[in-house]
Structure 1
Amino acid sequence: MKMFATQLQGMFQKIVALEEPLEDGARLLAQAPAGAGKLYVSATPELTGIAMSLAAHQEAPKDTMYWQPSSSPDSTDRVLLFAGKKEAAELSQQIEFLKKQEVPLVIVAPFSQEDIETDLDFTDIWIQTPGRDGIIPAEDGSRMGEPTALCSLFTGQLLYLYIKEMMEEFD
């Protein structure tokens, strides 16, 4: 258990070091609550629980809600979109839908932007989290303790803290 905690701590430090994409992502997302739009949080199936938790989080910016692909946000809205480790195809579908609606987005995923089948708009932000596989070796040689959900939740919380800081400066 100590090894798991140590490995997670290292991953969290790597995420904190992504200062520029975190600040850029927060700046893009903050445009919704600062203006007339809504901030939507969504995810591919593996991370739906994380998205729902962040959408209902007590520190979520005003007008933050969970987005389901059945609804249609518009260009005044912003979307924070999380992807699971093997869900590049699902992510590409959601991105394509949002691009047609001209909705700027911030994507958090444990894989690189090159792994998806669609191009992002120049205004969109990609945040790649570490830890695509389990971080603790098992006796049979496999790996366990898959960190994607925890890294995604941590990244979402950091984005909220940056947004809060920006909104306070704006006021």
Structure 2
Amino acid sequence: MKMFFTQLQGLAKDIEDQEDIIEDAARLLAMSIVSDGSVYWYSEGEMDGIVTQAMTGDDGIPDSKRWSEAHSLSEQDTVVICSKWRDSVSASDVAKRAEEAGATVIGITSAMSVSKDKHDWTTGAELLLVNGVSKGLIPSEDGETRIGTPHLLAGLHVYYTLFFVLRDILDDQMA
């Protein structure tokens, strides 16, 4: 546990180092919110916890909606894609649709790179927030594998950092 928590602290530091990108992402979200646009959230697998937090949590983001093909997007909208895989075909489809509509795309993903022969949906993202998880944080007993891949935990850390900056921006706009 001590090793895991030490590694988590390292991930938190790496997320803090993205302060400028997080501020830019918060500004883009604020622009959608104040311009009567919407913030659409798309997720895959365990990263759906971020979408649940954004939409229904005590610290949710205003004007948030779950991504659906039924929504028609506009240039005032922002689509946040939460996927641990940068070569996800479905995330690529969502990013492409958002780009075609002129909506802004923000990505929350892992640090994993994509092999050259695969499509990387993050290339179309205006901003990319990286949670820093690329493999298990600690070696297993056999030493062959690594365990403890907290994609959601690190993704929620990114979310909360983004949330606090966004709240400051929105509070300043209301004052």
Distance of 1:48 and 1:113 partners within structure 2: 21
Contact 1:109/1:129, CA 8 A, preserved across alignment:
yes
Point out 4+ residue stretches in structure 1 off by more than 6 angstroms.
112-115
Deviation at 1:9, TM superposition (A): 1.5
Partner of residue 125, structure 1: 127
Q: What is the count of residue pairs matched by the alignment?
A: 169
Shift of 1:89: 2.9
The yes-or-no answer on 1:153 pairing with 2:160 is: no
Q: Deviations over 1:29-87 (max 9, x none)?
A: 11122121112222134422332232222222321222234433322211221111365
2: distance between equivalents of 1:98 and 1:44? Answer: 17
Equivalent position of 2:139 in the other structure: 137
The superposition leaves residues 142-169 of structure 1 with CA deviations (integer Å, 9 ceiling, x where unpaired) of 1110021111111111111111001112
SS at match of 2:98: helix
Q: What is the CA RMSD across the aligned residues, in angstroms?
A: 2.1
TM-score norm. by structure 1 comes to: 0.87
After TM superposition, give the deviation of residue 113 of structure 1 in Å.
7.9
Paired position in structure 1 for 2:101: 101
* Counterparts of 2:88 and 2:8, CA distance in 1: 23
1:114 shift after superposition: 6.7
Paired residues of 2:53 and 2:60 also in contact (CA < 8 A): no
Distance 1:92 1:144 in 2: 28
TM-score in terms of structure 2 length: 0.85
Following the alignment from structure 2 to structure 1, what is the Cα–Cα distance between the partners of residues 69 and 83? 14
Q: How does 1:51-66 map to 2 (within 5 A)?
A: 51-66=51-66
Residue in 1 that maps onto 2:85: 85
Structure 2: where are the runs of 5+ without partners?
A: none
Question: Any unmatched runs of 5+ in structure 1?
Answer: none
Letter in 2 for 1:35: S
Provide the identity percentage. Answer: 24
